[in-house]
Amino acid sequence: MIDHARDLASVRDATDQLLNAAAELNNASVAEPSRLPGWSRGHVLAHLARNADALVDVLEGRPMYASADARDADIERDAPRPLDVQLADLRDSAARFQEAGAAPADWSRTVELRNGVTDAAARVPFRRWVEVELHHVDLGIGYELEDLPAEFTEREIDFLVARFTGHPDVPSTRITDGTRAWSTGRDAAEPEATVTGSRADLLGWLAGRRDGSGLTVAGGTLPTLPPL
């Protein structure tokens, strides 16, 4: 069962950690490239702020974004801002998300996210936690996949494995860190490949943050995963 209140606390802690780390940057380093192609660190920070507001809209029954173009335009508009403005915006938007999450609500209800995706309201705090943790890594300021909380890493692997399960373009694949195994991809009597590695490397591959070079593959080649 999803504990949305516990996830909200994890979001708050992860956001505080990101804000403290980003406060060590300066205006020049915020304008430098992040690890995401075509995005500066300013783009990442702007996206995080606007995503918090978008998820408030989701929780309050409004569309997540007015349109894909509006989402992209807001990020481009906000990306060049000075560091202090970026941090204040991220802090304020995070507080708005926490406030929305603390409001009395039916957490079993279904909400709509981007591109027609639906989910239980109770999972929205975890989705925000994913945004904060992975984009902290994307900033490229010393926080790595290996630094992610163990609970987060396991749950995000669970989430991504489920996302690719049954996908016609993903071969039937067994994934293991040596202690636990997951299955994903097309339905098949036997997996077409077994992928083994650390949880950090597995998550990096599943989330499109690593190329899989740290993984070993038996019985086939490393599957190419669709973009998230």
Mean pLDDT of 60-81: 97
Q: DSSP strand E in the chain: where?
A: 110-112, 118-120, 173-176, 181-184, 193-196, 216-218
**Phi and psi dihedrals of 179, rounded to 5?**
-120, -30
- The pLDDT, as a whole number, for residue 155 is 98
- The pLDDT, as a whole number, for residue 73 is 98
Global pTM? 0.97
Of the candidates 222, 217, 191, 187, the residue with the CA atom closest to the CA atom of residue 206: 222
Q: pLDDT tens for residues 18-40?
A: 999 999 999 999 999 999 999 99
Task: Give the whole-angstrom CA distance, residue 15 versus residue 7.
Answer: 12
Task: Give the whole-angstrom CA distance, residue 165 versus residue 221.
Answer: 18
Reply yes or no on whether the pLDDT at 3 is more than 90: yes
Tokens describing residue 205: 């591959």
**Under the phi-then-psi rule, with left for phi > 0, alpha for psi from -120 to 50, and beta for the rest, what region is 142?**
left
Reply yes or no on whether the pLDDT at 60 is more than 80: yes
| pLDDT class of 193 with cuts at 50, 70, 90 | very high
For the chain, give the number of residues.
228
Tokens describing residue 193: 């490949």
